[in-house]
Amino acid sequence: MLYMVVEKFKEGAAPEIYRRARAKGRLLPEGLTYVSSWVDLEFKRCFQLMQTDDPSLFAVWVREWSDLADFDIAPVRSSSEAAELINMEA
């Protein structure tokens, strides 16, 4: 399943987030896969698309970064999947 992760950087934390990522990688537990990400222009939020069959793995990953960011995590589907589901119901 796909998940949209909105990572809200704590004040002034962006440089340390990038330092840690450069030094240690994404710190993802096995079974949690990074797909892609986008960062807003003010370095305040990162929008990450991730994939896992075990959403409990997010707790492991968030612990590695919670000193630098807060997280909103939501299961998502692609627009084409949503359209297909809506068309099936109509």
DSSP string, 23-63: HHTT-PPTT-EEEEEEE-TTSSEEEEEEE-S-TTHHHHHHH
The percentage of the chain sitting over the pLDDT mark of 90, rounded to a whole number, equals 94
Domain ranges of the chain: 2-89
Q: Which residues contact 12 (CB under 8 A, 6 or more apart)?
A: none
CATH class given for the domain over 2-89: alpha beta
**Whole-structure pTM value:** 0.90
- Look at residue 90 and tell me whether its pLDDT is greater than 70: no
- List, for residues 8-30, the tens digit of each pLDDT value: 999 999 999 999 999 999 999 99
